[in-house]
Amino acid sequence: MRWSKILLPTLKEVPADAEAISHILMIRAGLIRKLTAGVYCYLPFGLRVLAKIEKIIREEMNSEGAQELLLPAIQPCELWQKSGRFEALGEDMITFTDRHKKLNVLGPTHEEVITALVKNEVNSYRQMPLILYQIQTKFRDEARPRYGVMRSREFIMKDAYSFDRDQPGLDVSYDKMYDAYCRIFKRCGLEFIPVEADTGIMGGDTSHEFMVLAGSGEDKIACCKKCEYAASLDKAECPEPDHGQRTIDHSKKPEYLKDVSTPGVSSVEDVAAFLKASSDKLLKTIIYVNADKPVAVLVRGGHEVNEAKLIRVLKSNNLEMASAEVIKKTTNAPVGFSGPVGLTGIEIIADYSLKGSRGLIAGANKADTHIIDIDMKRDVQVTRWADIRSIKENDLCPRCNLAGINIQQAIEVGHVFKLGTKYTQSLGATYLDVQGKANQIIMGCYGIGVTRIIAAYLEQNHDDCGIIWPWAISPFQVIIMPLNTDNKEIMQKAENIYKLFIDENIEVLFDDRDIRAGMKFKDADLIGIPIQIIIGEKNLAQGIIEIKLRKTGQREKIKSGEVVPKVLKLIDDLQAYPEPEGI
């Protein structure tokens, strides 16, 4: 491909609305252009990368016996009402009413559609195990689309669904997909960690996320500093401390509870500073509304409530923070002064870490007032103890109990779930077993954010000059750079090499633009093609051409007649994984 003929607009300036480095590079290197918030056009250069990733995904899915199909983006809303997810996805769903006044959904995912299909087409145990997948566009009306294709409203996903006769069958299918995912991400050049994850609104009992560590990642994961334990914050356990519930020592007279005036002071930091106490002694009381009923949720000052855990504990479909009005009605106090002492008539859920604690400080359910010296056992009527907080940096690893936890930011590129019968039950998908008895089909689902792989890769693989593509997903393999297009000898040499590469089926970009050499160098580094072939006047006069590897910056001068065999050798080396470092 000649650069003069391809739509590859590079930019010198950093686009104003791009924060994440991957977003900046995708715009500057001409991979994408924004149409509107969270919606992007893929230009030819970007599409070449996508096609390579999709090829890798197809090879790995097919090698596990999965079959590709293509499901529609338009889905009838009734299917989502039947599965009970219409409400759960809420405003993330993009819906429209058609001319027959029927409500439709632009598919954010396809569990409902595939289950409806399989319900009709799979009736016998003989037809399973079955794994079906597609690579297709999904739609989600994100509240805050950002970071380019990392969180967009329209994106390409690979979604696979497994159908099995029983749980052991699902375990086999799940392991196959898990292994295929590891190979896919490795081949795409990603450094990733599979972590234990929450199943959330997808349902089921077991789930793993594939996370790419990156500073701009929107997810946080907890990794043990010693053992293999890694989990999402929604999943990482904060177990009940094993010292158990303290029994009260009645020989000592308890301190009586005291109200203290804290005018206008309500945040944990401010109250701790005002009362000269450690924030660890503060007890946060957060009022939620679960299915129209208020619930008081208690955690320690330095801890955060983890809403995914709380939803699991409450088995809630509809949990939200209470409004100021509800807080006032529930506690008789304005926002910021809620506390558990004397709070009656509502459920009080307390985090395990508060068990047996004394000397705590909490809101007094009175404006501008806190209570000190609270004893959890003596003074608080806890209705349920549970793990409802997020794990913190340096908390003890719940798996090995030997080392601390390290919290890291990451980007989720894949997610696998053991769904069980959640969808086959609600949509009535059964099969007849060997005895002719009807059973629920057991299901798993497996997603990869195809467009997000590009962003995640770029977060990990760039330098100050631009992108560093790996061999496997680079849009081209070689770029030819004649430095002076007015020089006939240089252009003739470049044309010859270009033709030889095409004959060898090498994906080559020929920078035939009549621009300054400095611009060509900058653009070549920005777009990140692995091998640069630089043809300059001085070198060529001595029969020499320069080869540069983008990744290492390493350069080598080659006799002009030896360029093609040298590059073919380099390509052989680069195709091997991991890529070699030198020429």
Report the distance separating Cα 553 and Cα 290, nearest Å: 58
Which CB sits closer to Zn ion, 150 or 222? 222
**Which of 397, 497 has the CB closer to Zn ion?**
397
CB of 213 to Zn ion, least distance (A): 18
Residue closer to Zn ion, measured from CB, 317 or 401: 401
Looking at beta carbons only, is 135 or 236 nearer to Zn ion? 236
Does 469 help bind Zn ion (rule: CB under 5 A)?
no
Taking CB under 5 A as the criterion, the residue among 397, 411, 413, 479 binding Zn ion is 397
User: What's the angle, vertex CA 23, arms to CA 22 and CA 27, rounded to 5?
Assistant: 115
Q: CA dihedral defined by 378, 380, 381, 384, rounded to 10 degrees?
A: -110
Among 138, 312, 399, 493, binds Zn ion (CB under 5 A): 399
State how far the Cα of 568 lies from the Cα of 494, in Å rounded to an integer: 17
Cα three-residue angle 322-328-332, rounded to 5 degrees: 135
Binding mask 223-262 for Zn ion (x = CB under 5 A): -x-xx-x---------------------------------
Distance in Å, CB of 238 to Zn ion, minimum = 14
Nearer to Zn ion, 128 or 230 (CB): 230
Q: Can you read off the two tokens belonging to residue 46?
A: 């970007």
* Of residues 224 and 540, the one with the C-beta less far from Zn ion: 224
Give the amino acid at 155. Answer: F
The yes or no reply on residue 298 touching Zn ion (CB under 5 A) is: no
CB of 405 to Zn ion, least distance (A): 8
Number of residues that bind Zn ion (CB under 5 A): 7
Whose CA is closest to 448, among 178, 228, 231, 218? Answer: 178
CA 348, CA 297: separation in Å to the nearest integer? 6
CB of 273 to Zn ion, least distance (A): 35
Give the nearer residue to Zn ion in terms of CB position, either 172 or 227: 227
C-beta of 14 vs 227, nearer to Zn ion = 227
Nearer to Zn ion, 195 or 478 (CB): 195
Minimum separation from the CB atom of position 227 to Zn ion (A): 3
| Piece of 217-225, 369-377, 387-395, 458-466 that binds Zn ion (CB under 5 A) | 217-225
Give 399 or 452: the residue with its C-beta nearer to Zn ion.
399
CB of 401 to Zn ion, least distance (A): 7
Closer residue to Zn ion, CB minimum distance, 225 or 384: 225
Shortest spacing between CB 193 and Zn ion, in angstroms: 14
Stretch that binds Zn ion, among 101-109, 220-228, 242-250, 478-486 (CB under 5 A): 220-228
Under rule CB under 5 A, residue 519 binds Zn ion: no
Distance of CA 128 to the CA centre of its chain: 31
Task: From 279, 258, 281, select the one nearest 268 (Cα to Cα).
Answer: 279
Smallest gap from residue 109 Cβ to Zn ion (A): 33
Q: Does 172 bind Zn ion (CB under 5 A)?
A: no
**In contact, 385 and 419? CB cutoff 8 Å:** no
Q: Which of residues 299-358 bind Zn ion (CB under 5 A)?
A: none
Name the minimum Å distance from CB 314 to Zn ion.
29
Give the rounded distance of the alpha carbon of 265 from its chain centre: 37
Q: Write down the number of H helices and E strands in the chain.
A: 16, 31
Smallest CA-to-CA distance from 198 within 184, 209, 211 is with: 209
In Å, what is the CA distance from 388 to each residue of 60, 316, 361, 416?
Answer: 38, 13, 20, 24
Answer yes or no: are the C-beta atoms of 298 and 340 closer than 8 Å. yes
Of positions 37, 69, 400, 568, contacts Zn ion by CB under 5 A: 400
6: buried, middle or exposed (CB in 10 Å: 19+, 13-18, 0-12)?
middle
37 binds Zn ion (CB under 5 A): no
Q: Is 391 in the site for Zn ion (CB under 5 A)?
A: no
Plot region of 421 (φ>0 → left; ψ -120 to 50 → alpha; else → beta): alpha
Under rule CB under 5 A, residue 411 binds Zn ion: no
> How many C-beta atoms lie closer than 10 Å to residue 100's C-beta?
5
CB closer to Zn ion, 74 vs 402: 402
Among the listed ranges 298-306, 393-401, 552-560, 569-577, the one in contact with Zn ion (CB under 5 A) is 393-401
User: Is residue 195 at the binding interface for Zn ion, with CB under 5 A as the rule?
Assistant: no
Of 473, 259, 295, which is closest to residue 370 (Cα–Cα)? 259
In the bound state with Zn ion, the residue whose beta carbon lies nearer, of 401 and 575, is: 401
Distances (CA, A) of 129 to 35, 168, 206, 434: 42, 11, 19, 14
User: What's the distance, Cα to Cα, between the start and end of the chain in Å?
Assistant: 25
In whole angstroms, the minimum distance from the beta carbon of 229 to Zn ion comes to 4
Q: Which stretch binds Zn ion (CB under 5 A): 74-82, 361-369, 399-407, 571-579?
A: 399-407
Helix H or strand E encompassing 362: strand 360-363
Of the ranges 222-230, 371-379, 504-512, 514-522, which one interacts with Zn ion (CB under 5 A)? 222-230
Query: Which residue blocks in 232-345 are alpha helix, DSSP H?
Result: 268-274, 307-314, 324-331
Q: Which residues bind Zn ion (CB under 5 A)?
A: 224, 226-227, 229, 397, 399-400
